[in-house]
Every structure is written in structure tokens, then in C-alpha cells.
């Protein structure tokens, strides 16, 4: 698992698609290519310009369309040798499609595959015992170990293509969640702590971990960071955000919507019908009990939400990890299963100053002569990342900070709730402020600080 996680970040595309450029499979391959793109599966074709061996190595899956003309192309045969070698040495996924050709003709080089190889041997003056020809024949024989889909009739091509796309999607790791972590201050050390608690490298039974702490302390940022780093190690994954807001006081309709979202994100279930959340329990358990699942339940504030989305260890397959963030530690204790806990601590003074400076000055340290002011601003934030980011972003540059000479280190820090009043409860307000013009943003910043440091 660890090796796969390490190499997966090097991939630039999902699928490397290769077929004979002059074969009878060209139109069929065109349809596959477009269907993969339509399903948001990033794909490059061997016929595309600037495609190199490095490009193939940067793709998670190699998809080979074998047709009657494939063995007539030395380039295609050479690529097949590389694909089989990558499968053997790096365990890269290979998807094989036999298009209007018998698999046994490929495996044993009979009929059109025998004729193609014989023609190449003659035209290229290659002997049957040459190393290059031996490599081609061995690669074609090895196809037998990989299975594949046999597409025989034109009238069923759309069905074949749908199945190809579905099977390909199932082989890809869960997609990342969008995150704006440009400066992961303090995240790496906390990630290592969580990784140890979760025992991710093992295939132990299901583990639930609850991360608790005040609003704005960075719980969502941390689990987003964690999710993107470990998602490759799971069959399926789901990241359910803002559950407290979306469940609307545990409204049954809202909880059922969250259950449907969980099923869609993990198994692409689109026709889910449930009259009650109890039916949702059964469907989640039925679909996920044999899969290694990574599930993030973000901002939970009620045991009813936990019961609806992760009611028991037996809902998920061996090795699954369920991670919960909450402001209310006591809700974790109400679950009938044991939940490990992790208290989210504030950033220390050094981490806080660095995070603030990145957002205020685009550098890790204060500008000369502003260290005292920066340290005092940081002390008011109490180590809350969201407050530090908002203060830094709205005090962007030396000119803005110079407007606050009244901020002296001798002043008694204001309570954290003054910062919270402006910045912590409303995640959307920071996005709204970014859309305003600079002058309006600066006026807002001034009013904030005048009240915060009053």
C-alpha cells in the first residue's frame, strides 16, 4: 500500500489508450476515448502528438485495443512490450479489449496475428529468433494472463463501451477533494499523529476516529489534507462536508440526502430509493460491507447523524477508516461503537506567526520593523488558523499594518470570541470578501481591527 501511495502522486493521466492507427478498430477506439473523457477520466492516445514512453508511464492504466491489424504495426508491438514490462515490474493496471478478433489468435499468434508477424519479419529482415520478435511474441502470449473483454458484434458496441468505462472507473483511486492549503503550517506533524492513530498501513478491522475542537481551529483543513494523502489506499471514499448545516436539525429528508450522497460517491449508486433512514442503513451496509472505505464526516453535531451515516463497524469492509470532525466531544461518546479521539490543538506561537506572515506578506517572517505588531496580532488569534488567515489576508502588505500603531504588546488581549464574531462562524464570508474590491476590503479590515483590538 505504501509504495502505491508514494508513486500514485506521479501520475498525470488516468488512461493510456493504444490501438492500431490503421485498423478496423479506429472508430470504436474513438468512441471509447470520448466516453472516457465524458466520464472525467483523463486519457491520452498513442496516436496523439508528443506521446512518448514517459507519457505511458505517467498513466495509471494502459488500455490496449487489439484488432486484426494490430500485429502489422511495429510501433504498436513495441508499446505492448513496454506495457507488459510495466505490468510485471510496477504492477500497473492493464485493460485489454479484443475487437473483432479471437483472443486465442492473439495468445498463440494464429491467423491474422501470424500473418502480421510474418510480414514484419520479412519486410524488416528480422529473423524469427531475433530478440525483438521474441519480445513481441512473448508479450502477445502474456495477454492471456490479463483477461480482457471480447467485443464481437457492432450492434452491442455501446454496451461494451459503457462496461469498459465502468470497469475503468472502478480501477481508479477516489478523486481528491479541493483544498486551498498553500502553506501547510503544522499539518504534517498532525498528519503523522492521525496516521498513527488510524494504523492505515495495516488491514485491521474498521476504525473510527473522532477529531474534536473549537470552530476555526482547522479540523476541516486537516482532514482534507489527510484525505488527499491517503485516499489512494482505499477502494472507495466519500467526503461529506458541513453535515451540521446540511442535516438541518436532523431532518429525516436531509439525512436521507446525505445517505444518498455517500452511496453515490462510493459506488456511483444513482437510483437509490429509500423511504426512511433505516432503509438507508441497510443499503449502505449492503453496498459497502465488502469494500475498504475511507469516509470523512465533517462537522457532526449529533449522534443521529452518526447513526445515519456510520452506524456500525459491520457496515464497512476490513481496513475501512471513518473519520469524524466535531465541535462536541460528548457526541462521540454516545455511539455504541468505540471511537478513538484526537483533540485538535491550536497552532503554537511559531506556527501562528509563520501562517500569518505567509498570508500578510507572502513570506515566512515579518517585514523588518513590524515584528512586534505582527506578534501582537498573532497573540489575539489564539492559534486559530482561520483567524490568522483572515487577519493576514485582510492586512495584506506593510501599508495596511502600518495603520495600526495603536496595537501595542502591552495591551491585554481581547477574548477570542471577538475574533470569532467576525471570522469563525461564517466560512462563506471570507469568500464573499474576496469578491469585493480592494477599497471595500480595506475598510472592512479597519473596522474589524478597531473592534477586535478595542
According to DSSP H, which parts of 91-186 are helical?
A: 103-107, 112-123, 131-142, 157-171
What is the total residue count of the chain?
454
DSSP state of 268: -
Task: Report how far residue 56's alpha carbon sits from residue 343's, in angstroms, rounded to the nearest whole number.
Answer: 44
**What residue has cell string 438507508?**
280
∠ CA 330-323-328, rounded to 5°: 20
Phi, psi of 191 (to 5 degrees): -60, -45
User: Residue 295: which residues within 8 A CB-CB, separation 6 or more?
Assistant: 237, 238, 240, 262, 309, 310, 316, 320, 321, 322, 323
87-126 b/e (C-beta count within 10 Å ≥ 16 → b): beeeebbbbbbbbbbbbebbeebeebbeebbeebbeeeeb
Q: What angle, rounded to 10 degrees, do the helices at 26-38 and 157-171 form? A: 50
Task: Report how far residue 45's alpha carbon sits from residue 18's, in angstroms, rounded to the nearest whole number.
Answer: 6
Task: Report how far residue 101's alpha carbon sits from residue 149's, in angstroms, rounded to the nearest whole number.
Answer: 11
**What residue has cell string 498525470?**
12
**Active-site option among 68, 79, 331, 351:** 79
DSSP state of 182: S
Residue from 104, 80, 96 nearest 164 by CA? 96
Q: Where are the beta strands (DSSP E) in 20-160?
A: 43-45, 59-66, 93-99, 149-151
User: Residue 234: which residues within 8 A CB-CB, separation 6 or more?
Assistant: 173, 174, 292, 293, 294, 319, 320, 321
Q: What angle, rounded to 10 degrees, do the helices at 131-142 and 112-123 form? A: 160
Q: Is 79 a catalytic residue?
A: yes
Task: Report how far residue 403's alpha carbon sits from residue 426's, in angstroms, rounded to the nearest whole number.
Answer: 26
> 230, 185 in Cβ contact below 8 A?
no
**Residues facing residue 122 across a β-bridge:** none
> 157, 99 in Cβ contact below 8 A?
no
- Catalytically annotated residues: 79
Amino acid at each position: 500500500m505504501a509504495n502505491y501511495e508514494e508513486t500514485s502522486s506521479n501520475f498525470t493521466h488516468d488512461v493510456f489508450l493504444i490501438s492500431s492507427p490503421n485498423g478496423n478498430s479506429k472508430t470504436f477506439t474513438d468512441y471509447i476515448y470520448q466516453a472516457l473523457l465524458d466520464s472525467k477520466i483523463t486519457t491520452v492516445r498513442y496516436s496523439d502528438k508528443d506521446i512518448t514512453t514517459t507519457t505511458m508511464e505517467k498513466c495509471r492504466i494502459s488500455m490496449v485495443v487489439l484488432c486484426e491489424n494490430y500485429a502489422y504495426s511495429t510501433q504498436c508491438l513495441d508499446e505492448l512490450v513496454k506495457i507488459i514490462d510495466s505490468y510485471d515490474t510496477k504492477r500497473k493496471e492493464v485493460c485489454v479489449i479484443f475487437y473483432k478478433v479471437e483472443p486465442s489468435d492473439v495468445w498463440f499468434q494464429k491467423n491474422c496475428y501470424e500473418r502480421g508477424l510474418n510480414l514484419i519479419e520479412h519486410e524488416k529482415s528480422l529473423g524469427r529468433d531475433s530478440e525483438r520478435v521474441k519480445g513481441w511474441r512473448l508479450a502477445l502470449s502474456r495477454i492471456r494472463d490479463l483477461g480482457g473483454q471480447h467485443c464481437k458484434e457492432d450492434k452491442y458496441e455501446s454496451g461494451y463501451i459503457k462496461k469498459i468505462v465502468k470497469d475503468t472507473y472502478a480501477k481508479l483511486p477516489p478523486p481528491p477533494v479541493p483544498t486551498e492549503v498553500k502553506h501547510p503550517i503544522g499539518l504534517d506533524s498532525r498528519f503523522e499523529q492521525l496516521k498513527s492513530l488510524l494504523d492505515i498501513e495495516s488491514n485491521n478491522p474498521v476504525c473510527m476516529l473522532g477529531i474534536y475542537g473549537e470552530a476555526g481551529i482547522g479540523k476541516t483543513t486537516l482532514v482534507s489534507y489527510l484525505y488527499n494523502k491517503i485516499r489512494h489506499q482505499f477502494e472507495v471514499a466519500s467526503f461529506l462536508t458541513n453535515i451540521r448545516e446540511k442535516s438541518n436539525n436532523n431532518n429525516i429528508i436531509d439525512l436521507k440526502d446525505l445517505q444518498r450522497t455517500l452511496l453515490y460517491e462510493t459506488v456511483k449508486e444513482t437510483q437509490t430509493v429509500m423511504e426512511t433512514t433505516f432503509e438507508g442503513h441497510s443499503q449502505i451496509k449492503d453496498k459497502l460491507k465488502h469494500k475498504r472505505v475511507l469516509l470523512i464526516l465533517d462537522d457532526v453535531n449529533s449522534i443521529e447523524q452518526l447513526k445515519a451515516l456510520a452506524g456500525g463497524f459491520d457496515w464497512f469492509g476490513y481496513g475501512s477508516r471513518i473519520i469524524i470532525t466535531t465541535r462536541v466531544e460528548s457526541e462521540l461518546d454516545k455511539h455504541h461503537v468505540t471511537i478513538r479521539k484526537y483533540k485538535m490543538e491550536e497552532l503554537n506561537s511559531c506556527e501562528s506567526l509563520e501562517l500569518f506572515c505567509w498570508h500578510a506578506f507572502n513570506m515566512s517572517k515579518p517585514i523588518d520593523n513590524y515584528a512586534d505588531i505582527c506578534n501582537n496580532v498573532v497573540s489575539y488569534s489564539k492559534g486559530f488558523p482561520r483567524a490568522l488567515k483572515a487577519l493576514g489576508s485582510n492586512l495584506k502588505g506593510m501599508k495596511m499594518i502600518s495603520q495600526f500603531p495603536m496595537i501595542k504588546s502591552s495591551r491585554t488581549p481581547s477574548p477570542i470570541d471577538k475574533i470569532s464574531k467576525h471570522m469563525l462562524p461564517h466560512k462563506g464570508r471570507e469568500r464573499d470578501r474576496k469578491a469585493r474590491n480592494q477599497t471595500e476590503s480595506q475598510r472592512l479590515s479597519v473596522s474589524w481591527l478597531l473592534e477586535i483590538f478595542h
